[in-house]
Amino acid sequence: MAPVVESVSSSPEHTFSKPVRPRIRLLAGLGVEGDAHLGTTVKHRSRVAADPTRPNLRQVHLIHAELLEEVALAGFEVAPGQMGENITTRGLDLLGLSRGTVLGLGRARVQITGLRNPCAQIDGFSQGLLRQMVYRDERGELVRRAGVMGVVLEGGVVEPGTAVQVWEPEGAHLPLERV
């Protein structure tokens, strides 16, 4: 199955979940039009408190629908947008991408900057869900699964059904790290 956008969401307020929309508009260098995280500098409250001048590497949040289905098997009901993502994809292992990968979403282009760092707000949404999103593997290494973050290189409208193209960067695979 070719990768596709399954759902899109945005919220003008800093809320944990974002309402599903019929479409969103990505703005180059800024993020999702009308979303609380739109801008060239950090918008996440804790990051603003630490240093409001840092670049916004979290303009767009993406989660793959297969993750939502996997946590459903563990007893958690999570619909698109409820984890705060802007774009829910299907048919693409977002967590396995290399840092710097560019996703084509119709005319829009998003460069993957890293992993979302899951926080305790996830348990506020559904008690115990945080353990599904971040845990230590058998080697003791931290595994983060709450999606990936990116910056908008080229703007455009994204809606359900939009095909997703993937352009991996040249050279060695660069594992995604927390941003």
Q: Residues 126-162: pLDDT tens digits?
A: 999 999 999 999 999 999 999 999 999 999 999 999 9
Question: In total, how many domains does the chain have?
Answer: 1
Query: Dihedral, CA atoms, 164, 90, 179, 46, nearest 10 degrees?
Result: 120
Low-confidence ranges of the chain (pLDDT < 70): none
User: Which residue from 167, 178, 174, 3 is spatially nearest to 98, judged by alpha carbons?
Assistant: 174
Q: What is the pLDDT of residue 45?
A: 81
Answer whether residue 178 is part of any domain: no
- Tokens describing residue 44: 């996440």
Q: Report whether 25 contacts 154 (CB < 8 A).
A: no
Answer whether residue 174 is part of any domain: no
Answer whether residue 141 is part of any domain: yes
Summary mean pLDDT of the chain? 96
Q: What is the pLDDT of residue 63?
A: 98
Answer whether residue 64 is part of any domain: yes
Answer whether residue 63 is part of any domain: yes
Answer whether residue 179 is part of any domain: no
Answer whether residue 130 is part of any domain: yes
Q: What is the pLDDT of residue 44?
A: 84
Give the structural domain span for 14: 4-167
Domain at 31, CATH number: 2.40.33.20
The 10 Å Cβ neighbour count of residue 107 is 12
